[in-house]
Structure 1
């Protein structure tokens, strides 16, 4: 399914632009997570997520107000968005909490179980049909997750469960958006998710610190937030800005090009994370991580290939699993986003001209 506001533009040109946008977005998302990992020894995870949400809110709220209809600040669906934000905040708190204990490639490989979980949940709760090919691809992907976790290895522990729990919360949030339907634009959904998650992360962090003992190795989960100096403020602002720009680029990629063509490039995040983790911190993932990564990527790319071969009419709805799956991004189900993004771009162009 492809949506474009420039119908005269060649399909190949739009596809190449979409690929360039999604790859650039993946590079920025890896950069965002590298910043998170590097700043965790100084700032607690709750503070980093809160600041990132505030920066994104400062960016997105004026844009929604300026664009006007069909975007709406007041929406009756806010309880659903509150639930989504709780899933997002708790999930990515667990994701980043694993950073000091695991390599970047290890954490993100386990997170990419999210599309597999979403496809499974959509089949169970939304009665989306999945054929034998997709079932086989899901089984291969889940086998990759198990291999990457290496439960029989000596280093397996409760920390390895955290990225998987993040993937599960992420998948559930996607099901919520599909269940709601096309009642709000993707920009409004993203704005509410980011805003509410920033608010919820504070009481969530407080609750966690009342349950667990903050030992030196868990110092990144403490609730006392240090006052940043000028350099610290610049780094925090950069963290939020990179995440917002990356999310915008990926959303743009899926707006101008076919989701089935673009989706495999989401997986470029994994080798980038592995390479940069090695260059910056000397992280060498175990061979089980690489084996699991290959199986997970193969599963996702085969699913995208099958989607390319399926003939769909303009009214057909693509699978819920066909979404943007990137760590730290408040992703929106593509079928909800595509038409809304087209309207957004039209109105944006009109106001510019």
Structure 2
């Protein structure tokens, strides 16, 4: 996202940080809602209602930033393909939320900066020095600590946020390539369009309920048939569309008015909200090894972001 925004404005650092922290707080509410709904409704139902609700808000953003003509450019096909990758990323992320504590899901998802650094070497010909390679290895060691492969505590759902981090990283590499020609709102609009199409396809396959019955929370969230929602739950699903539009606006403004290298580390404030929500709603509290993994992943990510800023 950061590479799709106009050049930052001078003297606006504090405002940019405030916008980003607010945007992350808003998006954290969406994570909370989807985890609350995951035990009774299918993911594709929530995604469909979210995508439909977001359309008018995204059209306003498109009109404000570049007009409808910004949706139809030589890069439209690439924006749509990027939307497909984003759909895979967030589908994996949301399915992980159904089975894992929020803090664990968010922390493992923050492996994305590690993947972005690796992919930038192969696809953007960027140079990574030995210090950042050491930070990368440390970060992935933190991932292994939290995933616990081979142990009795291993849950395959822990691989989902890591896969989400990888696919999100691919989408960000694509955004760097598209950022010089396409607007952030156009990328968001086509991303939402892919979400809508993907939700329709999943609803056609799983909506009738012929595949439901799996006991694993992640698979149940994917395979469950459509359920008639209560008025309150319907409003929660639709609120996700509003949250997505408002959150996007705040994050867009953050990267518009301040340097990306300054505001990006504040995305890790999402971990604070995930720990708070996990404790308040599910009495989930990370154990010692989880805290160690979280600290290593966040530390490695922040170090890589800091080293990246030194190149500018």
Tell me, yes or no, if structure 1 residue 242 matches structure 2 residue 259. no
1:39-118 pair list within 5 angstroms: 39-65=37-63, 68-69=66-67, 72-118=70-116
Name whichever structure is richer in helix by fraction.
Answer: 2
Aligned equivalents of 1:152 and 1:308: distance in 2?
37
Partner of 2:307: 306
Deviation of 1:69 (Å): 4.7
Unaligned runs of at least 5 residues, structure 1:
313-353
Partner of 2:163: 165
Structural RMSD (CA): 2.5
Of 260-269 and 65-74, the range deviating more from structure 2: 65-74
Cα distance, 1:152–1:223 mapped onto 2, change above 3 Å = closer
Aligned equivalents of 2:185 and 2:246: distance in 1?
13
Does the CA-based 8 Å contact 1:19-1:262 persist in structure 2? Answer: yes
Partner of 2:229: 228
Aligned equivalents of 2:158 and 2:8: distance in 1?
41
Deviation of 1:246 (Å): 1.5
Aligned equivalents of 1:147 and 1:134: distance in 2?
20
Partner of 1:215: 214
Of 93-102 and 104-113, the range deviating more from structure 2: 93-102
Aligned equivalents of 1:211 and 1:257: distance in 2?
50
Does the CA-based 8 Å contact 1:30-1:272 persist in structure 2? Answer: yes
Deviation of 1:208 (Å): 7.1
Aligned equivalents of 1:309 and 1:175: distance in 2?
20
Deviation of 1:309 (Å): 3.3
**Which one of 19, 22, 33 corresponds to residue 20 of structure 2?**
22
Partner of 1:336: none
Deviation of 1:109 (Å): 1.0
2:71 match: secondary structure: coil
Cα distance, 1:205–1:285 mapped onto 2, change above 3 Å = farther
Cα distance, 1:145–1:208 mapped onto 2, change above 3 Å = farther
Partner of 1:138: 136
Does the CA-based 8 Å contact 1:150-1:288 persist in structure 2? Answer: no
Partner of 1:257: 258
Unaligned runs of at least 5 residues, structure 2:
none
Aligned equivalents of 2:303 and 2:158: distance in 1?
26
Partner of 2:31: 33
Cα distance, 1:68–1:122 mapped onto 2, change above 3 Å = closer
TM-score by length of structure 2 reads 0.88
Partner of 2:7: 3
Partner of 1:276: 277
Aligned equivalents of 2:30 and 2:121: distance in 1?
32
Deviation of 1:66 (Å): 5.5
Does the CA-based 8 Å contact 1:206-1:223 persist in structure 2? Answer: no
Q: Deviations over 1:27-66 (max 9, x none)?
A: 1121110011001123211111222222222211134246
Cα distance, 1:158–1:308 mapped onto 2, change above 3 Å = closer
1:95 match: secondary structure: helix
Deviation of 1:76 (Å): 3.1
Partner of 1:177: 175
Of 181-190 and 210-219, the range deviating more from structure 2: 210-219
Aligned equivalents of 1:175 and 1:20: distance in 2?
26
Deviation of 1:70 (Å): 8.6
